[in-house]
Amino acid sequence: MHPPILETRSEHWPDEAACAARAQAMAEREALRDAFIELQGPLGAGKTTFARHLLRALGASGRIKSPSYAVVEPYELTRGAAWHFDFYRFTDEREWEDAGFRDIFAGPGLKLVEWPQNAGETLPVPDLRMELVPLEDDQRAVQLSAYTERGLELLR
How much is the pTM? 0.93
Specify whether the CB–CB gap between 154 and 128 falls below 8 A. yes
In this structure, is residue 3 part of a structural domain?
no
Beta partners for residue 40, in sequence order:
131
Domain that holds residue 115: 12-155
Q: What is the pLDDT of residues 47-66, one digit of tens each?
A: 999 999 999 999 998 888 78
In this structure, is residue 5 part of a structural domain?
no
More confident residue, 35 or 98: 35
Beta partners for residue 113, in sequence order:
38, 85
In this structure, is residue 88 part of a structural domain?
yes
Does the pLDDT at position 121 exceed 90? Answer: no
In this structure, is residue 41 part of a structural domain?
yes
- Using 50, 70 and 90 to split pLDDT, how confident is the model at 89? confident
Q: Considering its fold, how many domains does the chain have in total?
A: 1
The predicted structure's pLDDT at residue 2: 61
- Distance CA(66)–CA(21), nearest Å, equals 20
- Using 50, 70 and 90 to split pLDDT, how confident is the model at 91? confident
In this structure, is residue 131 part of a structural domain?
yes
In this structure, is residue 37 part of a structural domain?
yes
Distances (CA, A) of 66 to 28, 43, 70, 94, 123: 23, 13, 8, 22, 20
The predicted structure's pLDDT at residue 1: 58
The predicted structure's pLDDT at residue 120: 82
The predicted structure's pLDDT at residue 34: 96
CATH code for the domain of 132: 3.40.50.300
In this structure, is residue 118 part of a structural domain?
yes
In this structure, is residue 85 part of a structural domain?
yes
CB count within 10 Å of CB 111 equals 24
Candidate from 35-39, 40-44, 56-60, 85-89 with smallest mean pLDDT: 85-89
